[in-house]
Amino acid sequence: MQSDYSFSDENKLVFDKLLRIIGQENPQIYNEIQNAQLLSHDALERYFEKKINPFHEKGGAPHESYDSALDKEMLWLILGAFQKRIDALEAIVNNEMLSTTGKISGFELDEQKLDDYFEVIKSEYLAKSSVQMNNRPRLAMFTPLCPLVSGIADYTEDILIELHKYFDFDIFIDDGYQPDNPNIVSRFDILSHDEFEQKKDKYDAIMYQVGNNPHHLYMVPYILKYPGIIVLHEFVLDYLYRCLPEQYKKIAKQACVTDTYPDTDLTGNPMNKYLLDNATCIIVHSRYSKIKILEQNFAKTIRRVAHYVNPMSTTFNGALLKQKYGVQDFFVFSSVGFVTYSKRIGPTLIAFARLIAEFPNIQFKYIIVGRVDADRDEEIQAITKKYNLCEHVVITGYTESQEFLEYIQLSDVCINLRYPYGGETSGSVSRIIGMGKPCIVNDVGSFGEIPDDCCLKLPINIENEIDNIYNGMRTLFLDKDYRDQLSENAARHVEAKMNISKIGRTYSSVLKDSIQEKCCDALGLLHKMAFFLCNNFFHGSLSATKHATALISQLIFDDENN
């Protein structure tokens, strides 16, 4: 079997964790794998890239004399020759070692041994405990609700209605407001959070909807005292941390300083571990978040449940809505959702001004739908004045749900960028994709996980950001066939992966697994595989470890199981 040298992020994570455990079990095998890895295809390519490609100093441009196509071809020829030598040397060394351990005829038998053993530990990994579950479990849910201005409140209300098919819920909310959604108020008991203590024993499980803003502050003491299922909407919780009272900041800081994030300040530290350590199960919406959590704690049960699209939100007539809002003669770009620095509205408006200048006979509108933070409002006003955009840019401010969806539907192209990225999954983008709107996003995190044929993705590149945004806007403006294709592909993707009824069934399965104490013990899985690798000689330790990595990674990141 030929080794797969193009490791995904998931495989890299699993391989590194597995290799570390092998080092604890058997340093000799660890060193053998490390030495082979140093001479691997990946390492050689990086080495020769530096030799052949001397221009890469802090992102500099290629030297004028650099022939990338020719040198790349030379690189691959060199790598191929080296790889053949490495394979031959590894075979010679392994054959010598096998003389004292009994000969195994080729890696095919080793692969079969690994596959057979993996089937055994896989069944243990997926097994549920014998904990009995009520026919209709009752859960306590901590979450913000509408009328709080919160995407998580909107999300939770839709999901609660779907999950009510399978479970009963009592909802514990913060003080200071009254929920106003009749579909929620009529179906569920909504209680003040301070009533939970006296009712806690009546629930089969506790759920916490956790996001990076003060609406979730009230639930922190409960998470620390009563472990439960955490639905993590944003990987980075730095803003929530800054809002904590001092006593909880101290707890958070002690837990969040780790080998992965050694800084004691907030630079690069997601400040989430103090909460996630108390989760019985963590639900995320993206592979990105799952990888990032496993980097910190491989012993946690983490399940990915995709974001949803509610079919009720897709039945709008765009042409009629353009008439309703007086933009029937315009090509409309829009950005929807709370406007912060990370939405990149400033660079986007500058790119928009360039498009207007190039096509002066076309009527363009840019509609910014949602609240705008104070700094961004000042930025928008300055840019619209400088580039004469006042007649072309509309800021709606906060809108109700129906109006919000109408603005999406009347748009020709939606733009939802994200930098810096905090590990969030955008409900706005899910709605945009769900309504079949061509969308421009950054190729990062959960946004990068949207299929390439459903949206236009821009790289994170601040130096060329305005050019990239402008080229994306120009492409979608000029190419209607491309816009239509994106819409059609998005519709198929949504029906296959994001329909709220299907998401509800997945949620139900995850929650029932958690109640029955099904524990996807990824760390235990790694320890068992490491022990097996160290105590059964394999024809090629690096190849065997990579094969084991692929098996484990597929299981851990399989959405059907996790």
Q: Are residues 361 and 392 in the same domain?
A: yes
Backbone phi and psi for residue 336, each to the nearest 5 degrees, phi listed first: -125, 145
Q: Are residues 115 and 158 in the same domain?
A: no
CA distance 399 to 370: 6
What three-state secondary structure class fits 372? strand
**Which domain range does residue 541 map to?**
10-55+68-127+519-556
Q: What is the pLDDT at residue 103?
A: 37
Q: Are residues 347 and 204 in the same domain?
A: no
Last residue of a domain, one of 279, 304, 329: 304
Under DSSP, the state recorded for 285 is: S
- Is 5 domain-assigned? no
Q: Are residues 143 and 279 in the same domain?
A: yes
- Is 322 domain-assigned? yes
- Is 38 domain-assigned? yes
Q: Are residues 121 and 149 in the same domain?
A: no
CA distance 496 to 1: 34
Q: Are residues 34 and 147 in the same domain?
A: no
Q: Are residues 370 and 483 in the same domain?
A: yes
Q: Alpha carbon of 97 to those of 17, 186, 191: distances in Å?
A: 26, 72, 68
Last residue of a domain, one of 274, 304, 334: 304
Backbone phi and psi for residue 276, each to the nearest 5 degrees, phi listed first: -65, -30
Of 356, 281, 348, 312, the C-alpha closest to 562 is: 281
| CATH label of the domain that carries residue 368 | 3.40.50.2000
Question: Exposed, middle or buried, 342 (CB in 10 Å: 0-12/13-18/19+)?
Answer: middle
| CATH label of the domain that carries residue 210 | 3.40.50
Of 367, 470, 345, 459, the C-alpha closest to 412 is: 367
Last residue of a domain, one of 284, 304, 324: 304
Q: What is the pLDDT at residue 352?
A: 98
Using the Cα atoms of residue 406, residue 407, residue 412 and residue 415 in order, give the sign of their dihedral. Answer: negative
Q: What is the pLDDT at residue 107?
A: 46
Q: Are residues 342 and 461 in the same domain?
A: yes
Amino acid identity at 430: S
Amino acid identity at 388: N
Strand order in the sheet with 279-284: 189-192, 168-173, 138-142, 205-210, 228-232, 279-284, 302-304
Q: Are residues 335 and 281 in the same domain?
A: no
- Is 1 domain-assigned? no
CA distance 166 to 494: 23
- Is 309 domain-assigned? no
Q: Are residues 333 and 474 in the same domain?
A: yes
Q: Are residues 402 and 264 in the same domain?
A: no
Q: Alpha carbon of 26 to those of 240, 528, 533, 541: distances in Å?
A: 43, 13, 10, 12
Q: What is the pLDDT along the chain (562 residues), one digit of tens a residue?
A: 333 445 688 888 888 888 888 888 888 778 877 777 665 555 555 555 554 444 444 444 444 444 444 455 555 555 555 555 555 555 544 444 444 333 334 445 567 888 888 888 888 777 766 667 778 999 999 999 999 988 899 999 999 999 999 999 999 999 999 999 999 999 999 999 999 999 999 999 999 999 999 999 999 999 999 999 999 999 999 999 999 999 999 999 999 988 888 876 666 889 999 999 999 999 999 999 999 999 888 888 899 999 988 765 556 788 899 999 999 999 999 999 999 999 999 999 999 999 999 999 999 999 999 999 888 999 999 999 999 999 999 999 989 888 999 999 999 999 999 999 988 989 899 989 988 899 999 999 999 999 999 999 999 998 999 999 999 999 999 999 999 999 999 988 988 888 899 999 999 999 998 888 766 778 888 888 888 888 775 655 778 888 888 888 888 887 654 4
The widest CA-to-CA distance across the chain, in whole angstroms, is 84
Domain count, the chain: 3
Of 287, 194, 292, 291, the C-alpha closest to 237 is: 292
- Is 504 domain-assigned? no
- Is 466 domain-assigned? yes
User: 């053993």: which residue's tokens?
Assistant: 117
What three-state secondary structure class fits 142? strand
- Is 427 domain-assigned? yes
CA distance 518 to 126: 7
What three-state secondary structure class fits 61? coil
Angle at the Cα of 79 from the Cα atoms of 10 and 539, rounded to 5 degrees:
65
Dig out the tokens for 2 from the structure. Answer: 């030929």
Q: Are residues 241 and 343 in the same domain?
A: no
